[in-house]
Amino acid sequence: MRNHSVKLGTRGSPLALCQAGLVTEELRRRWPDLEVTIVPIKTSGDKFLDVALSQVGGKGLFVKEIEEALLDNRIDLAVHSMKDLPAELAPGLRVGPVMRREDPLDALIARNGLRFTDLPHGARIGTSSLRRQVQLLHRRPDLQIVPLRGNVQTRLNKLETLNLEAVVLAAAGLIRLGLQDRITERLQPGVCLPAIGQGALAIEIREDDQRTAERVETLDHRETRQATMAERAFLRRLGGSCVTPIAAFGQLEGETLVLTGMVAGLDGKRLLRQTVVGEAGAPEQVGQTLADRLLSMGAGEIIREVNAQLSEKRG
């Protein structure tokens, strides 16, 4: 294949640029003569930092402008935190390689170094995620959830400026930014299931761009792809959005895929959770099976109620 250059689109936050740098390093390692240009793109999600994502349309706002740049041939590939990718992509685009997953769990950063169970009654916890909110409230209804937006460092700073007891962020982002020493506790899946695709980097490409597809295919990590494809199939089957309180976490044990999923109401009181075991080679089927099981338990009703409540809040 001829040597050529590629333009890599990404959000412009410190974490997004760090992640784009990781992909660039891997591409240059595999293709030493390849010229990679990082193109930062400001997304709608970066423009509404004072409003909860659930009130402005959800995490899909973090990819819209980047997908437009891909479709317009202004960039050749895009790097996303997989948890930001909507269940359905824009027509003409597809998920290419999925890179090896970093720590998929959520991390508690507590001001006084306390673990989750030791936080004082009524503690103020900062999080930008309805998924985290409902699971934390399910365990600890006494907690006060404080909405939190902004990049990683901004949210860490709000521990002090908003007088919070703790904030909850993705462990992967903290690790990639070299801030893992700030983690007080990694919240285990039994306490807080991570977001769908959390910790994984997805490379989005045009369906008809075979040249770029061949360039990037060596970045794919099979086990991560299988686990996250099951998680995304679960989300698609439920018809949830990136902000609906839905979570799923897949783990491979040899050629077996263990997938746990959760759906909850906004107050965390009603929470459905199930685990299914299937073949790692059929991740979509495993995800759909888990979704069907939760739907049979009433997940559809919960999702409709949540969507109605969120629509009402958006006014």
Do 77 and 31 touch, CB atoms closer than 8 A?
no
Strand segments (E) across the chain: 5-10, 35-40, 77-81, 93-98, 106-110, 124-127, 144-147, 166-170, 185-187, 201-206, 246-253, 256-264, 271-279
Comparing CA positions, the residue from 270, 295, 288, 310 lying closest to residue 130 is: 310
Rounded Cα distance, 79 and 37, in Å = 12
d(CA 276, CA 260): 7
Alpha carbon distance 8, 79 (integer Å): 7
The catalytic position among 33, 76, 84, 181 is 84
The Cα-based distances of 127 to 25, 60, 102, 137, 146 in angstroms read 31, 18, 20, 12, 6
Torsion of CA 135, 136, 141, 145, to 10 degrees: -120
Angle at 193 between CA 312 and CA 238, to 5 degrees: 50
Location of structure tokens 């040597």: 3
Give me the residue label for tokens 């839905």.
Answer: 246
**Nearby residues of 274 by Cβ (< 8 Å), 6 or more positions away:** 260, 261, 290, 293, 294, 297
What are the phi and psi torsion angles at 297 (to 5°)?
A: -95, 0
Q: Is position 84 annotated as part of the catalytic site?
A: yes
Length reported for the chain? 315
What burial class does residue 306 get, using C-beta atoms within 10 Å of its C-beta: 0-12 exposed, 13-18 middle, 19+ buried? buried
Active site residues: 84
